[in-house]
Amino acid sequence: MGVLKSCVILAAGAAIGGALVIAHRVSEESGKGITESFADVPAEVRRMVADIQARVDQAAAGARDAYEHKQAEMDAFLHGGGAAE
Average pLDDT over residues 44-53: 95
CB distance 15 to 29 below 8 Å:
no
Asked if the structure places residue 19 within a domain, the reply is: yes
- For the ranges 16-20, 47-51, 78-82, the lowest mean pLDDT is seen at 78-82
pLDDT of residue 82: 56
d(CA 57, CA 41) in angstroms, rounded, equals 24
Looking at every residue in the chain, the average pLDDT score rounds to: 90
Asked if the structure places residue 73 within a domain, the reply is: yes
The domain in which residue 75 lies consists of 2-80
Average pLDDT over residues 48-74: 96
Which of 16-20, 21-25, 41-45, 59-63 reaches the highest mean pLDDT? 59-63
Asked if the structure places residue 85 within a domain, the reply is: no
Average pLDDT over residues 10-27: 93
pLDDT of residue 15: 93
Number of domains in the chain: 1
pTM of the model: 0.65
d(CA 32, CA 85) in angstroms, rounded, equals 58
